[in-house]
Structure 1
Amino acid sequence: MFKRRTVTLLVLVAMLISSLLTLTLTGQWSFASSGSIRSGIFADNLSGSSKSDMQKIEKALQLVKNNYVEDVDQSKLVDGAIDGIMNALGDPFSSYMGPDTAKQFSEEIEGSFTGIGAEVSMENGSVVVVAPIKGSPAEKAGIKPKDILLSVNGVSFEGLKLNEAVTKIRGPKGTEAKVKVKRADTSAEIEYTIVRDDITLETIYSRMEAGGIGVIEITEFSMNTAERFKEELASLEGQGMKGLVIDVRNNPGGVLSVVIDMAKQFVPKDKVIVQVEDKSKQRSKTVSNGSGKHYPIAVVTNKGSASASEILAGALQESAGAKLIGEATYGKGTVQTSFTKEMGDGSLLKVTIAKWLTPNGEWIHKKGIKPDIEVSQPDYFSVAPINKETTFKYDMLGDDIKSAQVMLNALGFKPGRMDGYFDKGTETALKQFQTSVKLKADGILEAETVKALESKLIEHIRDVKNDKQMNTAIEEIRKEITP
């Protein structure tokens, strides 16, 4: 059971591995459905061509066992063959997990994990961050959505399957993961040293802003998220809430039935929440049996809002009159289900079985949902960290110096330029910062100063006064509230 928000959070977790019910780290959050394998897929009455294919696989297995120069583990060959089948689909959200990985997932679904705390997927052969988990070591270190993970502790991810890369990233609590990443807005490779940790995962956070504007943040859609959401929503409504902002930024997704349950509270009766299209192009619509809400609603999104987050955003935008504010969402428009009983040995096969579409029939896959009001965060929200192993001073040039200038400017120490050249203005601004944090004011950018600079920037980013997207959403709701 996830604990209430009043319970102290242990510091966070890791890469959720895929499960029967939710989306996860091994591929990215996957939706589960109650479907079972259709008759005939693994039936005995295979067609002639199917029998021939199976015989070919069996023959290859037998040839390897009989002729390979060393003894072979047949179970590894079988696992490898299944991996090959899933990889041949070219779908980053369909995957195979062996018994150990599947067991980890089913344990972690209860909300306790160990690792760095980031949802990832495989895109064009690269391990890409969907979103860091709120409050996790990954988020605190500075990992961002769309970061490409290159290696961990010197082990390259090149050529690895997603599950293999995730296994390398995971590890015991307290151990270090030196993760090298490539970020879209910089040419340099960035290395983060992240200490793995445990967490008890809370998925709902709420607060009341001035003027009766409630804010509910949803970090993911887990098994008890709908229940927690109802509790917090009822609490805000009981306090006289006049308008609501729902924050799904960096929310990688979750359980389909959970997000539908939550959407029903806002979508009026008989209006569509989501459509699902199967492989035969047949569509089914999930229709609300709720009554809607009388107050205005805004949903805040960014490029880390994926999957179930997009279902909620699309449903509220198209069927409940909510405004979307922020950035375009991630763009995952497929539905997965997981088969474990059918595998017979504790392993798990996650298969994409359908597309989902917005109430108006829009397939947002690889496109995302565009906001009604586009708002980007200030550039310092995504600034690259500074290399702590090099010292920088007057008359030097480089990306690290540019990052320092962006940070100094954000904190009110005006360097005068932000192009990466360490001029006298940058030196003066750096001295002023060093004085403010009681460091030697020599105008030299070294490890201790860098750590202090990055720490102060993180505090600045976490200050809600500096959250441009959230503040815009609150102001939009304030405009809509009837005096």
Structure 2
Amino acid sequence: MQFKGRTVLAFIILAMFASSILTLTIVNPMSWSFKEKAAGSAVAAGPSSTSTTLTNKDLSKISKTYQLIENQFLSQVDHDKLVNGAINGMLEALDDPYTVYMDQDEAAQFDDSISSSFEGIGAEVSLDDGKVVIVTPIKGSPAEKAGIQSHDMILSVNGEKLDGLTLNQAVMKIRGPKGTQAKLEIVRQGSGDPVQVIVVRDEIDVETVYAEMLPGDIGKIEIRQFSSNTATSFEKELKALESKGMKGLIIDVRNDPGGLLNVVVDIVNPFVASGKAIVQVENRNGQRELTKSTGTGKDYPVTVLVNKGSASASEILAGAFQEAVGSKIVGETSYGKGTVQVTFLKEMGDGSNIKMTVYKWLTPNGNWIHKKGVVPDIAVEQPAYFKAAPLTKKVTLKTDTASDDVKNLQLMLAGLGFTADRSDGYFSEKTAQAVKNFQSVNGLPVTGEVDTVTANKLEKAILAEIRDPKNDLQLKAAAEALQSQINK
């Protein structure tokens, strides 16, 4: 599987940047050419040609159902709504969250999603058992700045419940023009109480590559998403670091939701010896195609940083470095997205679109990481306060009460150096004293109670701590692992 010339225009996408769902999508499935494994074996470069078609009886049954609804149902229903519902019903029967139908408006939104910029909150979402769940906030986005985290569940947007909506319908409620507010009601893993988070929509930063030189001549390149210009930017920054005498490289793809597959191949290719596999793709018949490197490898070690928000393209990069280069992967087990979707816009013929799971991708050694993720060689958790949920601010928190809010309060206080005597969610006298100490340092009324003003100040302070590189235990571990290789 080589990406040359016009085949790159197939736009093989692992995550739609403004998207409704994390996905590896092939817009033009005919650009894939699977060779027969044995004489007479079937070739499936798309939907199987041997699939049974709908019989006259099937069509009559569907038509009769439509007529009954149209003529007998208590209320009049919209024709297009019924037809779209029938299509959605068939796709939902596949029990695959990545196979979706898009009506004309949603299909147009999908086209916008693969552009290099968009307006919204800046987060990838998926549908899990009917619930809208954050895959990862894009770094630097309004969602990240508001404290949204991977695996947060969104219950409502601006008071509108998301239950029962398709993923695309939910996303159209989440997205919106720059400057408008999205009031999200979320539930965080390990926290039973919903909280409201206000995110001001913005134009999402299209800059995808950030580089710096760390102590010890260790280069660090952060990739925030894999867009059309990312490989070029990566090459430029890599050459700049190499010219400064870089002895080792950290590639940071934490909270990177993915992007273009050909871009991942371009980035990884120089690090992998010629002829070795970078990634594999397998069809429904078990036939595989390999993308092989034309590179020469590098003479310095590389480590890759991943977390649970590293998905799709990020996982392909991590898997390639782990298996084809022998690099150490540091951090947390990644998201785990290993299937490939094909879009069928032309086939629908009316501006609507179906995005259907058709292939799966595998690591260079043929491992399928779907729902498992890339497991790090060096597992490192961030400090506990990195996972603190925003406070609900529904009531003033005070002594002799217990709640998830108090538990998150105690996490924040500990992270800021105002440790109480406990962290179980009970507001003790020592918790109150810790609050007083925080209030005193920050010029707030010293009450020992947490009202909205104190809560907002706490959240702002803890976000600053989370963003401070000195508290990044995963980055420290990656640098230490790299330094030990350099010193060998």
Q: Which amino acid aligns with 2:413?
A: L
Q: How does 1:204-215 map to 2 (within 5 A)?
A: 204-215=209-220
Aligned counterpart in structure 2 of residue 126 of structure 1, from 131, 135, 140:
131
Instruction: Please say if residues 14 and 22 of structure 2, whose CA atoms lie closer than 8 Å, have aligned partners that are also in contact.
Output: no
Deviations 1:125-151 (A, max 9, x none): 211111011111211111111112111
- Name the counterpart of 2:341: 336
CA distance in 1, matches of 2:294, 2:73: 61
Q: Which amino acid aligns with 2:102?
A: M
Q: Is 1:420–2:425 an aligned residue pair?
A: yes
Q: Is 1:152–2:157 an aligned residue pair?
A: yes
Deviations 1:393-422 (A, max 9, x none): 233332222222221111112323222222
Aligned counterpart in structure 2 of residue 437 of structure 1, from 431, 437, 442:
442
Instruction: Please say if residues 221 and 254 of structure 1, whose CA atoms lie closer than 8 Å, have aligned partners that are also in contact.
Output: yes
- Name the counterpart of 2:36: none
CA distance in 2, matches of 1:340, 1:140: 35
Deviations 1:93-147 (A, max 9, x none): 1111122222223234222222222101111221111101111121111111111
Deviations 1:458-477 (A, max 9, x none): 11110000001011101111
Aligned counterpart in structure 2 of residue 29 of structure 1, from 23, 33, 36:
23
2:195 is paired with a residue whose SS is strand
Instruction: Please say if residues 30 and 335 of structure 1, whose CA atoms lie closer than 8 Å, have aligned partners that are also in contact.
Output: yes
Mark the CA change 1:317 to 1:41 in structure 2 (over 3 Å): closer, same or farther: closer
Mark the CA change 1:46 to 1:130 in structure 2 (over 3 Å): closer, same or farther: closer
Q: Is 1:105–2:110 an aligned residue pair?
A: yes
1:142 is paired with a residue whose SS is coil
Mark the CA change 1:290 to 1:56 in structure 2 (over 3 Å): closer, same or farther: farther
- Name the counterpart of 2:263: 258
CA distance in 1, matches of 2:27, 2:290: 14
- Name the counterpart of 1:137: 142
- Name the counterpart of 1:176: 181
- Name the counterpart of 1:406: 411
Which piece of structure 1 moves more, 326-335 or 247-256? 247-256
Residue 277 of structure 1: how far off its partner (Å): 1.0
CA distance in 2, matches of 1:369, 1:360: 13
- Name the counterpart of 2:390: 385
Which piece of structure 1 moves more, 305-314 or 152-161? 152-161
CA distance in 2, matches of 1:197, 1:395: 41
Residue 78 of structure 1: how far off its partner (Å): 2.6
CA distance in 2, matches of 1:299, 1:289: 21
Mark the CA change 1:76 to 1:36 in structure 2 (over 3 Å): closer, same or farther: farther
CA distance in 2, matches of 1:161, 1:110: 22
Residue 175 of structure 1: how far off its partner (Å): 2.3
Which piece of structure 1 moves more, 318-327 or 119-128? 119-128
Instruction: Please say if residues 390 and 459 of structure 2, whose CA atoms lie closer than 8 Å, have aligned partners that are also in contact.
Output: yes
Mark the CA change 1:438 to 1:242 in structure 2 (over 3 Å): closer, same or farther: same
Note the aligned Cα RMSD (angstroms). Answer: 2.4
Instruction: Please say if residues 31 and 256 of structure 1, whose CA atoms lie closer than 8 Å, have aligned partners that are also in contact.
Output: no
Deviations 1:178-214 (A, max 9, x none): 2112222112222212222222322211111111111
- Name the counterpart of 1:474: 479
Q: How does 1:66-77 map to 2 (within 5 A)?
A: 72-77=77-82
Deviations 1:201-234 (A, max 9, x none): 2221111111111111111222222222212212
1:443 is paired with a residue whose SS is coil
- Name the counterpart of 1:5: none
Normalised by the length of structure 2, the TM-score is 0.89
1:145 is paired with a residue whose SS is coil
CA distance in 1, matches of 2:114, 2:52: 39
Paired residues, what number? Answer: 464
Residue 171 of structure 1: how far off its partner (Å): 2.4
Mark the CA change 1:104 to 1:42 in structure 2 (over 3 Å): closer, same or farther: same
Q: Which amino acid aligns with 1:116?
A: I
Mark the CA change 1:148 to 1:271 in structure 2 (over 3 Å): closer, same or farther: same
- Name the counterpart of 1:117: 122
CA distance in 2, matches of 1:77, 1:404: 48
Q: Which amino acid aligns with 1:401?
A: V
CA distance in 2, matches of 1:47, 1:237: 57
Q: How does 1:235-250 map to 2 (within 5 A)?
A: 235-250=240-255
Q: Is 1:397–2:389 an aligned residue pair?
A: no
Instruction: Please say if residues 127 and 167 of structure 2, whose CA atoms lie closer than 8 Å, have aligned partners that are also in contact.
Output: yes
1:264 is paired with a residue whose SS is helix
Q: Is 1:279–2:273 an aligned residue pair?
A: no
- Name the counterpart of 1:233: 238
Residue 33 of structure 1: how far off its partner (Å): 5.8
Residue 240 of structure 1: how far off its partner (Å): 1.6
Deviations 1:287-339 (A, max 9, x none): 11111111111111111111111111111100101100001111111011212
> Which runs of 5 or more residues in structure 1 are unaligned?
1-18
Aligned counterpart in structure 2 of residue 351 of structure 1, from 334, 356, 362:
356
Mark the CA change 1:21 to 1:54 in structure 2 (over 3 Å): closer, same or farther: farther
Q: Which amino acid aligns with 1:318?
A: E
Instruction: Please say if residues 22 and 222 of structure 1, whose CA atoms lie closer than 8 Å, have aligned partners that are also in contact.
Output: no
Q: Is 1:299–2:272 an aligned residue pair?
A: no
> Which runs of 5 or more residues in structure 2 are unaligned?
1-10, 32-43
Q: Is 1:88–2:90 an aligned residue pair?
A: no
Q: Is 1:460–2:471 an aligned residue pair?
A: no
Q: Which amino acid aligns with 1:301?
A: V
Instruction: Please say if residues 14 and 312 of structure 2, whose CA atoms lie closer than 8 Å, have aligned partners that are also in contact.
Output: no
Residue 55 of structure 1: how far off its partner (Å): 4.6
2:89 is paired with a residue whose SS is helix
CA distance in 1, matches of 2:407, 2:71: 61
Mark the CA change 1:329 to 1:40 in structure 2 (over 3 Å): closer, same or farther: closer
Q: Is 1:311–2:287 an aligned residue pair?
A: no
Q: Which amino acid aligns with 2:211?
A: S
CA distance in 2, matches of 1:155, 1:72: 22
